[in-house]
Structure formats: C-alpha cells, structure tokens
Amino acid sequence: MARQPHIVLFPLLAQGHIIAFLALAKLIARRYSGRFTVTIVSTPLNVRSLRQSLPPESGVLLREIPFRSADHGLPPDTENTDSVTGEGLEKLLGASASLRPQFERLIAEEITREDGRPPLCIIADVFFGWTVQIAEKLGVFHAVFTTCGAFGTAMYFSMWLHRPHRHTTAEEFWVPGFPEGFRFRRSQLPRSLTSLEDGSFGIAFMTEHITLSMSSKAMLCNTVEGLEPVAMALLRKIAGLRVWSVGAVVPLETTNSSGRRAGRMAGVDPETCLRWLDAHPPRSVLYVSFGSQNSVSAPQMMALAAGLEATRRPFIWVVRPPLGFDIKGEFKDEWLPEGFEDRTGRSGRGLLVRNWAPQLEILSHPSVGGFLSHCGWNSVLESLSRGVPLIGWPMAAEQFYNSNMLEELGVCAELGRGVEQRVSSVEVERVVGLVLGGEKGEDMRRKAASAAKTMRAASEEGEEKGSSIAALDNFLATVLGTTPPDDNRYSPSDTQ
Ligand code: UDP
C-alpha cells in the first residue's frame, strides 16, 4: 500500500549543511505531521551521528548510502568536511560524486518499491547538482536548498560563474546580476576564489554544481524575506529560479541541553557553561567560535589570545588546533601565550572549550553580548535570532559576503579575513571593545534585536502565518500541484 508522499532530503557531507537540513526536515515533519514521509539521506557515519541526536518522535527517517573514504585516497572514516582541510577537502568533495549511483538506486528502486511509487520531491544540497538529473529521469520534483542566506548565495553563484575580478584590475568592481551601481571590493574576496587557476578542480566543481542546481525546479533559501528583501530578488534573478525563503531554519528556542547536536558532543557540559555565564553581568561576555570546520593560523591564535586577555572582558572561546595541524587532534597549550588558560581561567574571565561547544545554549544566555564568528550562515542566524551582534572573521566559502552584508545591516564589525591576514592583538582589543561597549555596540545590539524580531515573526505558525511558514506552505502546495505558486520569480521592480 502506498505511504503518504515522500520527501527526501540530501545534504552535503558537511556539519553546517547537515544541521540546516536536519532543521528543515524536522520543521516539515512537525508542521505537516502524518502528511509526508520525511527522510534524510547520508553516508553511514553521518547517519549514525544524526541518529544519536534525533528523538524518535521527530518523525524524520534516516537512510544511509554506502561510502568508503579509503577508496578515494582519504583516511578511513572521513565522511564529513569537519575532519579534513585543504587537499583532503578537495578529495572529499570530489569523492562525493561517487554517491550518485547509490543515491539513484535508493530513490529509483528501494524507496519506490517500499512506497509503491517514487518520492514526491527531492530537496538536495547545491553541491549535489547531479540529483537534478536523477529527479528529471524519474519524474520527481526537485528543489535545491541553499543553507546560506540570499545575499551570500547570490554573490557565491555569480562570483563562481563569472569570476568578475579577473576582468579588471580595479580594487572595486561590479558583480554580474547585481544593480549597476553595486561595487564589491577585491580585498573582500575569499582566497579560494582568487587563487584557483582555470581548469582547476575547484572551479570545475563549483561551476558544475551551481549550473546543474540552476536547472532545478525551485530553490529554498535559509533566510527571512524581511531580513534580505533586495537580496532575495537578486537571488531569484541570478539563479533564474523560483526561490522560497523558508528560514530561519535554526532552533529559535533552546530546549536541548544535553550538549549533543547533530551527533557532535560538546567539549564542556552545558550546565557548567551556563553556570559560568550566570556569574557574569548581562551582555558582558564575548563568545568566540569559527564554526564546525575552520580554525585560524598559529600566529593569529596567539594574537587573538593576547587581544582577548588585554580587553579584560569575559569570553568563551571554542579552541581547536590552528591551521596546518590535525584539526581533530588534541589542543596543545603551546598554541597560546604561556599560562593563558590558567590565568584567564583562575580570574574567572576566560573559559576555553575544546573542539565543540553548546553554541545555542551559550548564545541564548543573557550574559552574552557579542559573537566573534567566521560568519557561517547557521552561526549568523543563531546569533541574530538571539539579538547578539557579531564580530566578523570570515574564513571561507560565502562567509566573506555574509560579513559584508552584516556590516551593511549594522549588526557586525569585521576584525579579520581569512588565515593569511596579520591580525594584531591591539586590533582585537579595539574591535571587541567597540562591540561590547560604547555607543556603536549599543546601536548594533538594537539592530540585532530588530533582526531577531523579524526572524521570529517570519516563523510564526499561528493564524497569522509568518512569511517563512507561508512560503513553506506554498512551496509544498506547489510540489503537490494543489495551488498555483506564489510569484516567487524575479521581477525587475524588486531591485529598484
Ligand atoms: N556549532 C556548535 N558548536 C560548535 C561549533 C559549531 O553547535 O562548537 C554549530 C553551530 O551552532 C552551527 C553549526 O555548528 O549550527 C556551524 O554552522 P555554520 O554555518 O555556522 O558554519 P560551518 O561550520 O558550516 O562553517
């Protein structure tokens, strides 16, 4: 007997992407309980991690497809970008193409046999562009879910497709698809974009997946229409797709305090962390984290530590080995100024957390006044939804564009960029002081609080539906063919 229509979600093998897909899957399963079967597909280790933190009542099913990293010249059990850097990252991204036949078999044979019909819809990561071809072949509705924001995705797509910086030597240049007067600064480009040669793996990978994703039927974006109205219009234009803004799919309320998130166990007990925060005045603490897979260089780590100590403001810092060392390896004291952890710990001013922190719990605590972040989109949404302004230090991907956009919004001050820049302890002290104290900091906090309000309103599920919930309802009705879609296409008047 046929089950209810099946929605299959397929995130990239990256922690930040898995977290966002999981949140979207949970939202669909909860809001339309009993109306859809919702399944996340991933490789065995990622599925095992997800299983550990997914309560049975979530209504989300998990399916694994085989993957053996050793077959691709990677260390055994490498199934997530959080355990590789540099060349390893390229290898893992390249190896992810080997999932194609297994994914097709799962959809065309296993799920179709069990359900008595193919799935209703595949919601896939931008970097699994080939899923569009599988969906077309099987007559399944395909949508891309971008786990980034609208501005970040629009810039990322246009930059990779056109690489406009190569056509000029000017410091400021126009980006195709953006309004005539828009200029982006060369110094704000990620190294991944500027350092790659024509014909390199990185350029081939990006252009292939972005181009394929643009041939999908629809795009879901993890943002809020009211937060990025112009960027949403630009994304619709650049991607050439109907785009529904269904975010923020990050938990707006914090209920989980086990310290485990999408399978990752925190390096500190959340209770200890919260007690530590309780001992500090409201909005006085800086939280420092570079996401699930990035770290700064060894000299930058020293300067950051010295700057943090000099501010004499309390901080929680998620530390992992600096760039060039095994990112999953043990953290060594020698990477910090002598006696740093002891001194800052004893004075109650600093709490170092190894590898993974209960980020949502920390950001939700009233003592937190700022977040020094790599501007990964989940972190941005988690921070803004709690009214916490950011200090930007983008490291990779679209994080440079996010930091730029957040500065424009007035909720972020950029401190550093990438792993090559020399960041001085004096500059750390200055920017931290700016955001945690003074008028500028107050203004940023006010703007972050207003962003939080916009985000909460968008996720309102009552009679007066918020924009993101209405968008999700409309997207699913469109997939089912029960309603004409809202006009989610680009219209020139939207960017004027
Ligand atoms: N995260 C966490 N604890 C950590 C580091 C990261 O819970 O110590 C979570 C964070 O809350 C966010 C995700 O991991 O949901 C990281 O995603 P983001 O988009 O910010 O960055 P990425 O890791 O993809 O670069």
The pLDDT of residue 238 is above 70: yes
17 is catalytic: yes
Ligand 1 contact, 78 CB (< 6 A): no
pLDDT of residue 485: 66
pLDDT of residue 491: 75
The pLDDT of residue 490 is above 70: yes
Ligand 1 contact, 290 CB (< 6 A): no
Which H, E and C letters describe 115-144, residue by residue? HCCCCCEEEEECCCCCHHHHHHHHCCEEEE
Annotated domain spans of the chain: 6-251+458-480, 270-456
CATH superfamily of the 270-456 domain: Glycogen Phosphorylase B; (3.40.50.2000)
> Residue type at 419?
V
Report the mean per-residue pLDDT for the chain: 93
Q: Atom 17, ligand 1: which residue's CA is nearest?
A: 16
**Integer Cα distance of 431 and 176 in angstroms:** 33
Ligand 1 contact, 19 CB (< 6 A): yes
pLDDT of residue 435: 97
Q: Atom 15, ligand 1: which residue's CA is nearest?
A: 378
363 CA distance to ligand 1 middle (Å): 12
Q: Is there a common fold for 6-251+458-480 and 270-456?
A: yes
The pLDDT of residue 122 is above 60: yes
360 CA distance to ligand 1 middle (Å): 9
The pLDDT of residue 180 is above 70: yes
Q: pLDDT (tens digit, 9 = 90+) per residue, 27-54? A: 999 999 999 999 999 999 999 999 988 8
Residues 70, 73, 78: CA angle, nearest 5 degrees: 50
Taking residues 149-154, report their average pLDDT.
Answer: 98
CATH architecture of the domain covering 6-251+458-480:
3-Layer(aba) Sandwich (3.40)
The pLDDT of residue 8 is above 70: yes
Distances (CA, A) of 324 to 281, 294, 297, 301, 321: 37, 11, 8, 12, 8
Ligand 1 contact, 359 CB (< 6 A): yes
Could you say which of 6, 82, 125, 365 is catalytic? Answer: 125
16 CA distance to ligand 1 middle (Å): 6
Q: pLDDT (tens digit, 9 = 90+) per residue, 51-90? A: 988 888 899 999 999 999 999 999 999 999 988 888 889 9
pLDDT of residue 379: 97
Instruction: For residue 14, give the ligand 1 atom closest to its CA.
Output: 24
Q: Tokens 């008028």 label which residue?
A: 439
| Residue pair 259/53 in contact by the 8 Å Cβ criterion | no
Taking residues 118-128, report their average pLDDT.
Answer: 98
**Integer Cα distance of 22 and 60 in angstroms:** 8
| Residue pair 478/489 in contact by the 8 Å Cβ criterion | no
pLDDT of residue 478: 95
Taking residues 310-335, report their average pLDDT.
Answer: 94
Ligand 1 contact, 379 CB (< 6 A): yes
Taking residues 345-360, report their average pLDDT.
Answer: 95
> Residue type at 185?
R
Token pair recorded at residue 240:
């050439």
Q: Atom 21, ligand 1: which residue's CA is nearest?
A: 376
Distances (CA, A) of 87 to 82, 91, 229, 288, 324: 13, 6, 37, 26, 12
pLDDT of residue 259: 66
**Integer Cα distance of 344 and 353 in angstroms:** 13
Ligand 1 contact, 378 CB (< 6 A): yes
Q: Is 177 left (phi over 0), alpha (psi -120 to 50) or beta?
A: left
Taking residues 161-166, report their average pLDDT.
Answer: 95
pLDDT of residue 198: 85
Q: pLDDT (tens digit, 9 = 90+) per residue, 357-414? A: 999 999 999 999 999 999 999 999 999 999 999 999 999 899 999 999 999 999 999 9
Taking residues 217-222, report their average pLDDT.
Answer: 98
278 CA distance to ligand 1 middle (Å): 23
Ligand 1 contact, 16 CB (< 6 A): yes
Q: pLDDT (tens digit, 9 = 90+) per residue, 245-302? A: 999 998 887 765 566 676 677 778 899 999 999 999 999 999 999 999 899 999 999 9
The gap between the terminal CA atoms of the chain, to the nearest Å, is 52
Pocket test for ligand 1, best of 15, 294, 363 (most atoms within 8 A of CB): 15
The pLDDT of residue 496 is above 80: no
Ligand 1 contact, 261 CB (< 6 A): yes
Give the chain's radius of gyration (CA, Å): 22
pLDDT of residue 1: 47
Q: Atom 8, ligand 1: which residue's CA is nearest?
A: 356
494 is catalytic: no
Ligand 1 contact, 376 CB (< 6 A): yes
Instruction: For residue 395, give the ligand 1 atom closest to its CA.
Output: 25
Token pair recorded at residue 339:
């006696």
249 CA distance to ligand 1 middle (Å): 13
